[in-house]
Amino acid sequence: MAVDPLIELRDVNKHFGELHVLQDIDLTVGKGEVVVVIGPSGSGKSTLCRAINRLETIESGTITLDGQPLPEEGRALARLRAEVGMVFQSFNLFAHKTVLENVSLAQTKVRGRKKADADRRSRELLDRVGLSAHADKYPAQLSGGQQQRVAIARALAMDPKALLFDEPTSALDPEMINEVLEVMQQLAREGMTMIVVTHEMGFARSAANRVVFMADGRIVEDRSPEEFFTAPRSERAKDFLSKIL
Ligand code: ADP
Ligand code: MG
C-alpha cells in the first residue's frame, strides 16, 4: 500500500474465556484512510475497536500507532486515548454538563489547555458539526443525532490522529442518521483517518477506501468497496450481504 501506515495490527489475538474473539488479526490503516468494518453481530468488531484504544487488552500480537507500540498505562495511555478518539453507539456524554462543557472538559484535563482556549476551540467545533446554537444546553435537551454530533466534536477537540466509530448511528431514529453520516463524510473528505463500524452500506460505498468484513473473530475480506459489494468472495460475506442489502 502506498500510503503511510498510521494504525497497524499484527497477528493480534484475544479470548473471552473459551471464545476466541480476535483471531490472528492483521490490519493496516493508512494516514487519511477510511476503513469501514462490517460483519455479523458478535464477530468481534467492537472488541477490535476497543483493543486499538486499549479499552481491552490483547494476549498476543502488536498494535502500533504511528509506528509506536500502544502504551500500557498512565499518562501515555491517556494521551493515546486522546490521539485515537472513539465515538460509541451510546453517546456517553456527561448528563450534568452542558454541551460546551462536554466538549471542553478533556481539553483542559488531558491536553492542559486553558479554559478560555478550550471553550473557543469547542465553539469552533460545535459550529462545524452544526450545533453552535446549542452550546449551553444539556444533553437531554438535544435529539440523539445532535448528541452524537456533540460526541464527535468532543473527540475532534483532542486533535486526534484517528477516529474510531463503533456503530455511531445504530441507536438513532432513522431521520437522524443522515445528519451524523454527513459530519462523518465531511471528516473523511478532510482527510481524517477513520475506522468505522457500521451497517450503513451507503456510507461504506461512498466514504470508505476499504471494507473489512469480519466473521467469528477473523478478518475474512479486506478490499475496496466496489470489489466487496459487487463480488464478495467468501460465502460468509455473500450470506451477510444478502441479509442486509
Ligand atoms: P460485535 O461488535 O461484532 O457485535 P463484539 O466485539 O462486541 O462483537 O463481541 C464479540 C464476542 O465477544 C461476542 O460473542 C460477545 O458476546 C463477546 N464479548 C464481548 N465483550 C465481552 C466481555 N467483556 N466478556 C465476555 N465476552 C464478551
Ligand atoms: Mg459491536
pLDDT at 206: 94
pLDDT, tens digit, 9 for 90 and up, residues 163-198: 999 999 999 999 999 999 999 999 999 999 999 999
pLDDT, tens digit, 9 for 90 and up, residues 200-217: 999 999 999 999 999 999
How much is the pTM?
A: 0.95
pLDDT at 74: 80
**Ligand 1 atom nearest to 167, measured from its CA:** 2
Q: Residue 6: what are its φ and ψ, rounded to 5°? A: -110, -50
| DSSP string over 106-158 | HHHHTS---HHHHHHHHHHHHHHTT-GGGTTS-GGGS-HHHHHHHHHHHHHTT
- For ligand 1, residues with CB inside 6 Å are 16, 19, 21, 39, 41-47
Tell me how far the alpha carbon of residue 19 lies from the centroid of ligand 1, in angstroms.
9
Q: What confidence tier does 18 reach under pLDDT thresholds 50, 70, 90? A: very high
Q: Computed over its alpha carbons, how large is the radius of gyration of the chain?
A: 18
Q: Give the residue extent of every domain in the chain.
A: 3-243
Residue of the CA atom closest to atom 27 of ligand 1: 16
Tell me which of 78 and 33 has the higher pLDDT.
33
Query: What percent of the chain is predicted at pLDDT more than 70?
Result: 99
pLDDT at 133: 97
Tell me how far the alpha carbon of residue 224 lies from the centroid of ligand 2, in angstroms.
22
Contacts of 223 (CB under 8 A, 6+ apart): 210, 211
Q: How many CA atoms lie within 13 A of 74 on its CB side?
A: 3
Contact 166, 107 (CB under 8 A): no
Contact 93, 151 (CB under 8 A): yes
pLDDT at 81: 82
Q: Residue 219: which of 202, 245, 195 has the closest Cα?
A: 195
Contacts of 119 (CB under 8 A, 6+ apart): 100, 104
pLDDT, tens digit, 9 for 90 and up, residues 211-245: 999 999 999 999 999 999 999 999 999 999 999 87
The helix or strand, by DSSP H or E, that contains position 51, with its residue range, turns out to be: helix 45-52
pLDDT at 231: 93
**Ligand 1 atom nearest to 17, measured from its CA:** 25
Number of H helices, E strands in the chain: 9, 10
Tell me how far the alpha carbon of residue 216 lies from the centroid of ligand 1, in angstroms.
10
Q: Calculate mean pLDDT across residues 104-133.
A: 95
Pairing of strands 162-166, 84-87: parallel
**Ligand 1 atom nearest to 217, measured from its CA:** 10
pLDDT at 84: 94
Q: What confidence tier does 115 reach under pLDDT thresholds 50, 70, 90? A: very high
Pick the CATH number of 3-243 from 3.40.50.300, 3.50.50.100, 1.20.1250.20, 3.40.1000.10: 3.40.50.300
Residue of the CA atom closest to atom 20 of ligand 1: 47
Q: What confidence tier does 2 reach under pLDDT thresholds 50, 70, 90? A: low
Q: Which of 12, 13, 15, 19 to mutate to test the pocket of ligand 1 (most atoms within 8 A of CB)?
A: 19
The ipTM (two decimal places) reads: 0.98
pLDDT, tens digit, 9 for 90 and up, residues 45-95: 999 999 999 999 999 999 999 998 888 878 888 878 889 999 999 989 999
Residue 1 has pLDDT above 60, yes or no: no
